[in-house]
């Protein structure tokens, strides 16, 4: 016990042993990461979503969506005028959170359906861990029947999966905060629906489109890189298509801004107002052709012509008319459910997820502060596992101190990403529910489409072989210089 207490009081000296020189800055924010082996040499056809895939938007858009939806609540739904004092809070929420409508809880759930304690919020304030556990019948676990829907939601759970949902979560939390602070009773279901409808109106009524069209320099990012990506693919004889839920006039102006007035010459197929994810699952809507001004044509579609614009339709007709099937097609999108899930699981296309948050998270992972916190946390966890059999009074006290320090480091590490909810990819140690879906529904993922420029068009992506639990019996402190001094290591070496 004396030896253990000495070790834990000098973490910095141990960290110098645990961390090899140059271990920070190993990850490249502009890299493409593989969940599944894929060779671009086999890909003949590239498909793209538009919003947050080809067109990446500035975060300035979030406050405008928040403000407009807030005003809709006040003016059209007659919510209290004093809600107008609430402004958008950048960095309050993260993508992938779940919202329990009946309990008014916004929370992060891991891959095993457990709520990460410390990340459950009602309004703008955290809910104590004890209350969260009591609300779910004495456990942190969300029952499967509540989360068994294919798209990650159940009878009373909504998962916020797209980037546009950040202002929606913040508005939801702000309104609940107002009601709680003023002692106003509210119906949870009506509140959730009203806010969803207000946010939807910002999109459906075209308000957001007008903002972006008025000031594309301000709102659209990395436009020149998009032209470089598309042009290079076409020069290498790849076929390109676009499937988006946005209207043609909006897409046309955005693509002219990023790519040039002849952007349609790069694409073999352009489909707008596709109504994804129904486009991928519903056979009922036929394609309709638009003229160059965006007006609907009435004639029956028997072929999809290069350079023409089509509206609605469905994937089954798309496959029949193009013959583009299987792994020779690679489709990119930002929404794991609406864009990627059906294509991978039901149709065998290869898929690429656009995750803009990846760039920021990797920069945090590359910092010394993160690396030190994580390394020391892992070392403490390993010590706790191996020393837990010592139950004399002095040993118990040391173990309690280690557990307390471990919890403090876990919270510190979480706060590096987001003070409320942490990383979108991990809870304290498990993958998040979002991360689990990212691995399941995408072959590769990256921060932006422009990452393709860093790779040859015939490049093969190989996923790293990450060890399964039974393949990695040693903790980090057992792998360091001088680690043979660690108790039981000699015995554990023989296990392998």
Does position 496 have pLDDT exceeding 60, yes or no?
no
Does position 268 have pLDDT exceeding 70, yes or no?
yes
Confidence of residue 149 (pLDDT cuts 50, 70, 90): low
Does position 252 have pLDDT exceeding 90, yes or no?
yes
Total Cβ atoms within 10 A of residue 198: 23
Percent of the chain with pLDDT over 70: 88
Q: Whole-number mean pLDDT of the chain?
A: 88
Report pLDDT for 333. Answer: 96
Mean pLDDT lowest for which of 45-49, 180-184, 341-345, 354-358?
A: 341-345
Confidence of residue 493 (pLDDT cuts 50, 70, 90): very low
Does position 152 have pLDDT exceeding 90, yes or no?
no
Report pLDDT for 281. Answer: 87
Does position 257 have pLDDT exceeding 70, yes or no?
yes
Annotated binding site for GMP: 51
In this prediction, residues 348-353 reach a mean pLDDT of 96
Tokens describing residue 36:
């599944």
66 with 88: CB under 8 angstroms?
yes
Instruction: Give every CB contact of residue 345 below 8 A, 6+ residues apart in sequence.
Output: 441
Residue with tokens 């890299």: 31
Annotated active-site residue in 51, 100, 194, 443: 51
Task: State pTM to two decimals.
Answer: 0.89
Residue with tokens 């068009």: 457
Note if 299 is an active site residue. Answer: no
Report pLDDT for 495. Answer: 38
Total Cβ atoms within 10 A of residue 19: 18
474 with 50: CB under 8 angstroms?
no
**Burial 316-350, CB ≥16 within 10 A → b, else e:** ebbeebbebeeeebbbbbbbbbbbbbbbbeebebb
Confidence of residue 202 (pLDDT cuts 50, 70, 90): very high
Annotated active-site residue in 49, 110, 339, 443: 49
Report pLDDT for 477. Answer: 57
Strand, helix or coil for residue 4 = helix
DSSP element (H, E) containing 200: helix 188-204
Confidence of residue 154 (pLDDT cuts 50, 70, 90): low
DSSP letter at 445? E
Beta bridge partners of 55: 51
Instruction: Give every CB contact of residue 220 below 8 A, 6+ residues apart in sequence.
Output: 55, 56, 57, 58, 212, 254, 257, 258
Per-residue model confidence as pLDDT tens digits over 399-440: 999 999 999 999 999 999 999 999 999 998 899 999 999 999
Tokens describing residue 490:
């000699």
Strand, helix or coil for residue 382 = helix
Q: What is the DSSP string of 249-274?
A: HHHHHHHHHHT-TTGGGG-SEEEES-
Report pLDDT for 146. Answer: 72
Confidence of residue 22 (pLDDT cuts 50, 70, 90): low
Note if 49 is an active site residue. Answer: yes
459 with 453: CB under 8 angstroms?
no
Comparing CA positions, the residue from 338, 357, 31, 29 lying closest to residue 163 is 357
Angle between helices 165-181 and 188-204 (to 10 degrees): 140
Residue with tokens 């459906």: 204
Confidence of residue 18 (pLDDT cuts 50, 70, 90): low
Instruction: Give every CB contact of residue 24 below 8 A, 6+ residues apart in sequence.
Output: 366, 367, 368, 371
Instruction: Give every CB contact of residue 241 below 8 A, 6+ residues apart in sequence.
Output: 45, 46, 47, 48, 267, 268, 269, 270, 271, 324
Report pLDDT for 26. Answer: 82
Name the residue with higher pLDDT: 471 or 25. 471
Does position 207 have pLDDT exceeding 60, yes or no?
yes
Report pLDDT for 23. Answer: 55
Name the residue with higher pLDDT: 85 or 489. 85
Confidence of residue 2 (pLDDT cuts 50, 70, 90): very low
Report pLDDT for 91. Answer: 94
Confidence of residue 25 (pLDDT cuts 50, 70, 90): low
Report pLDDT for 148. Answer: 54
What are the CA-CA distances from residue 372 to residues 184, 235, 377, 411, 467 (Å)? Answer: 46, 46, 8, 14, 22
Annotated binding site for Mg(2+): 49, 334
Annotated binding site: 49, 51, 334
Per-residue model confidence as pLDDT tens digits over 49-108: 999 999 999 999 999 999 999 999 999 999 999 999 999 999 999 999 999 999 999 999
Tokens describing residue 186:
């509210």
Confidence of residue 284 (pLDDT cuts 50, 70, 90): confident
Q: What is the DSSP string of 336-370?
A: IIIIIIHHHHHH--EEEEE-THHHHHHHHHTSHHH
Does position 24 have pLDDT exceeding 90, yes or no?
no
Report pLDDT for 48. Answer: 98
Query: CA angle, corner 345, sides to 275 and 200, nearest 5?
Result: 25
DSSP letter at 84? G
């Amino acid at each position: 016990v004396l030896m253990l207490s000495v070790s834990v009081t000098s973490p910095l000296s141990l960290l110098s042993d645990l961390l090899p020189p140059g271990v920070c800055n190993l990850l490249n924010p502009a890299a493409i990461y593989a969940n599944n082996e894929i060779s671009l040499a086999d890909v003949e056809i590239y498909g793209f979503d538009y919003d947050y895939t080809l067109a990446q938007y500035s975060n300035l858009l979030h406050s405008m969506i928040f403000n407009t939806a807030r005003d809709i609540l006040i003016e059209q739904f007659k919510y209290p005028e004093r809600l107008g004092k609430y402004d958008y809070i950048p960095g309050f929420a993260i993508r992938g959170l779940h919202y329990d409508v009946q309990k008014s809880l916004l929370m992060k759930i891991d891959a095993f359906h457990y709520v990460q304690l410390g990340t459950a919020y009602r309004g703008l304030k955290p809910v104590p861990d004890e209350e969260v556990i009591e609300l779910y019948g004495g456990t942190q676990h969300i029952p499967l029947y509540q989360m068994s829907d294919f798209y990650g939601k159940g009878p009373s759970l909504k998962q916020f999966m797209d980037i546009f949902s950040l202002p929606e979560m913040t508005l939801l939390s702000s309104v609940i905060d107002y009601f709680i602070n003023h002692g106003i009773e509210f119906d949870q279901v009506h509140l959730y629906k009203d806010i969803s409808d207000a946010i939807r109106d910002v999109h459906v009524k075209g308000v957001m489109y007008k903002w972006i069209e008025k000031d594309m320099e301000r709102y659209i990012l990395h436009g020149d890189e998009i032209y470089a990506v598309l042009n290079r693919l076409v020069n290498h004889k790849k076929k390109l298509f676009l499937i988006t839920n946005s209207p043609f006039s909006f897409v046309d102006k955005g693509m002219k801004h990023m790519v040039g007035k002849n952007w349609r010459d790069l694409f073999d197929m352009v489909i707008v107002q596709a109504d994804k994810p129904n486009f991928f699952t519903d056979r009922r809507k036929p394609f309709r052709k638009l003229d160059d001004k965006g007006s609907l044509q009435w004639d029956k579609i028997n072929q999809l012509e290069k350079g023409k614009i089509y509206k609605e339709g469905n994937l089954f007709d798309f496959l029949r008319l193009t013959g583009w099937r299987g792994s020779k097609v690679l489709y990119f999108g930002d929404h794991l459910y609406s864009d990627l899930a059906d294509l991978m699981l039901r149709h065998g296309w290869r898929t690429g997820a656009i995750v803009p948050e990846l760039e920021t998270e990797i920069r945090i992972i590359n910092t010394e502060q993160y690396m030190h916190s994580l390394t020391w946390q892992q070392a403490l966890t390993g010590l706790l596992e191996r020393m837990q059999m010592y139950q004399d009074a002095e040993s118990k006290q040391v173990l309690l101190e280690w557990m307390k320090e471990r919890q403090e480091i876990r919270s510190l590490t979480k706060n590096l990403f987001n003070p409320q909810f942490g990383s979108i990819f991990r809870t304290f140690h498990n993958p998040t529910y979002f991360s689990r879906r990212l691995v399941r529904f995408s072959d590769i993922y990256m921060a932006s489409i422009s990452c393709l420029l860093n790779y040859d068009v015939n490049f093969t992506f190989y996923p790293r072989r990450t060890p399964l639990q039974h393949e990695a019996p040693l903790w980090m402190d057992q792998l360091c210089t001088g680690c043979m001094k660690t108790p039981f290591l000699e015995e554990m070496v023989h296990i392998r």
